[in-house]
Structures are given as structure tokens and as C-alpha cells.
Amino acid sequence: MPRIIKSAKGTFNSSTITVDSSGRIVDASSGAGAAVMKPVLYAEGPASGTFNSNGNQVTVYAASGGGGGAGMSESGSNNIFGGDGGYGVQGIFTSDITPPFSQPYAVGAGGSNGNNGPGSQGNDGSDGGATSIANLFSLNAGTGGNNGGENSNGSDGSPGNVGSGSFLRTVNFGANHDLKNTISNTFTFGSPAAYGARGDGGARNQSGMQTVSSGRKGLLYVFDNS
């Protein structure tokens, strides 16, 4: 029958036990349990502030803003399109931190859409906003679509990308407009198009002018083990 030959009185959690060659328990102590991650910050763009934590690890779901669509001139040839905005990027980030941790954060807005206008006065869409926590990561936003003028199509904005930080996974929506394969859909913290989707550019055809739309807002959802 094994017996403890070193004093180890008490109740031990996540125990570390040492057994000698004769099968005797010679030491016992409590170990470190698994970290319990809990939500500590949720913000939708545009937003900013300071993230404070007494934990030593963070996991973050984040998205940068999508670019706004370009407006169109109300005169000229039919079947002319303003550029769509660039998609933002979604990502999952995790890192060790040293408590007490305190750094500014920013959550990007969606880019505003350009307006349709008379003559050649259609406007470009504006860029979305970046999302970041200082000294941890940054996600650059999608840029605004371009107004091509009266008789030429505009160009789409550029998609967002990782500015800094090592992400476990990132998602750009891509040119096929497939909004199903998104981090927000996979982890069910918002509808697939809610965070970082691009704005649609205007169009002019036989039916008239197509509505222009703005880009979608960014997101910051932070968990720590404090």
C-alpha cells in the first residue's frame, strides 16, 4: 500500500504527485488549473478607449471596417458602375500579456458611401477604419471605391490586411462575395455581413440609379483570464 513519506497534509487541486521507485507517494502539491477565459471588452466601431487587464493571456475576435461604395454621375452612358469598397478583414488573435496590462484600443468605423450627383459629381467612397490594441495587433481597413466618371466604370477599393500581430486565423471576404465563410458566422457573434463587409458602388442603367451603400463597422471582442 503506497504511503506518503513527506508531509503533504491537505486537499490538492490539479495535483502534482511524485512517486518513488517503490511506488510510494513522496510529494504532493497543487498545480495550476486551466485558464478560464471570460469576456472583458466588447466594442463596435467607431469606438476607442483603454483596455485594462489583470490577466496574463488574451484572446481577441476583431474586424476592421469595410470601405464605402462610390457614387455615380447621374448623366452619361448606361450600365456604368461605381467602384465597390474594399472588404475589411476579420481575425482571431491570442497572446500572453504581463499584468497589469493597460493599452489604448481603437475600433474602426465603416467607410461612408459616396453620393450620386449631377454631371460628373459622383463622389468616391471613404476608407473604413482600422481596429487595434496598441502593442498587440492592428488590422488595416478596406479602402473606399472609386467613382469612374460619366462614361467609365470605377475601380473597387483595396481589401484590409493585417498591419501587425500574429493571428491564429484571418478572413477576407474575397471577390466572390461569399459572406458565409466568415469568422463572425463561425463563432456566432454577429450576422455574416455585420463586421467589415464592403459598401456597394452605385450603378446607372435603364432602370435609373442604383443605391450606394456604406461599408460595415469593425468589431473588438476581448477575453482574458483575470
List pLDDT tens digits, range 146-172: 987 777 888 999 999 999 999 988 776
Whether 193 and 88 have beta carbons less than 8 Å apart is answered as no
pLDDT surpasses 90 at 45? yes
* Per-residue pLDDT reduced to its tens digit, 169-206: 877 655 444 444 455 444 434 444 678 888 888 877 65
**Least confident piece of the model among 63-77, 90-104, 189-203:** 189-203
Reported as a pLDDT band with limits 50, 70 and 90, residue 71 is: confident
Residue ranges of domains in the chain: 1-33, 38-224
Cα dist from 96 to 26, 90, 92, 137, 161, whole Å = 34, 20, 14, 13, 23
User: What integer pLDDT is reported at residue 207 of this predicted model?
Assistant: 61
List the grid coordinates of 110: 465603416
What is the longest distance spanned by two Cα atoms in the chain?
Answer: 95
The pTM of this model reads: 0.78
Kindly list the distances between the CA atom of residue 79 and the CA atoms of 73, 117, 149, in Å, as whole numbers in the listed order: 12, 16, 12
pLDDT in tens, 8-42: 555 555 456 676 666 566 666 655 545 689 999 99
Beta carbons of 84 and 200 less than 8 angstroms apart: yes
